[in-house]
Amino acid sequence: MNGLCNGKNVSEFHCRNAFSELSIDAKKTPFQCDHEKSRKESEDESRLPVLEAAYTTVLQALGEDADRQGLLRTPLRAAKAMQFLTKGYHESVYDILNDAIFDEDHEEMVIVKNIDMFSLCEHHLVPFFGKVHIGYLPNKKVVGLSKLARIVEIYSRRLQVQERLTKQIAMAISDALQPAGVAVVIEAAHMCMVMRGVQKMNSRTVTSTMLGVFREDPKAREEFLALTKNC
């Protein structure tokens, strides 16, 4: 969707789907990628019995009979679920951005908003979830739009706090693309505030990270916030 805002052409993209210190310039061969994936799968498989035993202990500590029919396979299911919910520890931006950064003579704002995000609070191991809005000002390089959602996925599939998650996403994009600016806003509901504690059903937490032009230029920041509000 092309629009006009503050006299600038703005490319706005709606996305409802998801950098380390490693350099994007280095390329991984398909063989290397397959080998890495196989190694990670083997590691998960080897750790599964330990996680399963831990969940059995938790059930027993709660006073449950871990051998009753409804719970017989619960420790294994829970262990596999936890591995999936934290799979971001085994992934890096290097892996997903390989060959997905393109030279392009485009210097106007690019926004991908309404990216669904699910993560686990590291304090209580309960979910928090919401939407992520990302904007960047290209510096002659653009990235495949789905890769921005994948970056969100990498960092959200870890034990997190929302403040750190917001910054990690922004820094990853900045390191990978070297753009003129990056802006990330997350709005999320935290089950640690809804299901327990203060039990406030309608509370939402909003965090933002602004880098480069978005931090230095109030007009650029206001333009991004105006385009991402009321989503």
DSSP 57-105: HHHHHTT--TTSGGGTTHHHHHHHHHHHHTGGGG--HHHHHTT-EEE--
Q: Work out the pLDDT band at 11, boundaries 50, 70, 90.
A: very low
Q: Please report which helix (H) or strand (E) contains residue 32, including its range.
A: helix 30-61
Which of the residues 91, 153, 160, 190 is marked catalytic? Answer: 190
Average pLDDT, the chain: 86
Task: Say if residue 124's pLDDT is above 50.
Answer: yes
- Confidence band, pLDDT 50/70/90 cuts, at residue 122: very high
Q: Indicate the pLDDT class of residue 21, thresholds 50, 70 and 90.
A: very low
Catalytic residue check, 162: yes
Q: Is the dihedral of CA 157, 206, 169, 226 positive or negative?
A: positive
**What pLDDT, on a 0 to 100 scale, did the predictor assign at position 99?**
81
Percent of the chain with pLDDT strictly greater than 70: 83
Rounded to an integer, the average pLDDT of 132-153 is 96
Query: Residues 122, 163, 216, 222: which is the catalytic one?
Result: 122
| Catalytic residue flag (residue 90) | no
* Helix axes of 145-156 and 162-177: crossing angle, nearest 10 degrees: 140
Confidence of residue 35 (pLDDT cuts 50, 70, 90): low
Q: Catalytic annotation on 121?
A: yes
Catalytic residue among 36, 64, 124, 187: 124
Query: Token digits for 90?
Result: 């085994």
CA 52 to chain CA centroid, nearest Å: 26
Catalytic status, residue 122: yes
Per-residue pLDDT at 34:
61
- pLDDT at position 9 is 44
pTM of this structure: 0.81
Burial of 230 (0-12, 13-18, 19+ CB in 10 A): exposed
Choosing from 123, 163, 216, 231, which is the catalytic residue? 123
190 is catalytic: yes
Give the active site residue among 133, 162, 168, 223: 162
Give the pLDDT of residue 43: 82
Residue 123: active-site member: yes
Cα separation of 96 and 153, whole Å?
11
Better-scored residue on pLDDT, 195 or 152: 152
- Report yes or no: 93 and 154 within 8 Å, Cβ to Cβ: yes
pLDDT exceeds 90 at position 72: yes
In 3D space, the residue among 172, 185, 183, 177 whose CA is nearest the CA of residue 117 turns out to be: 185
Q: Which of 15, 52, 90, 121 is catalytic?
A: 121
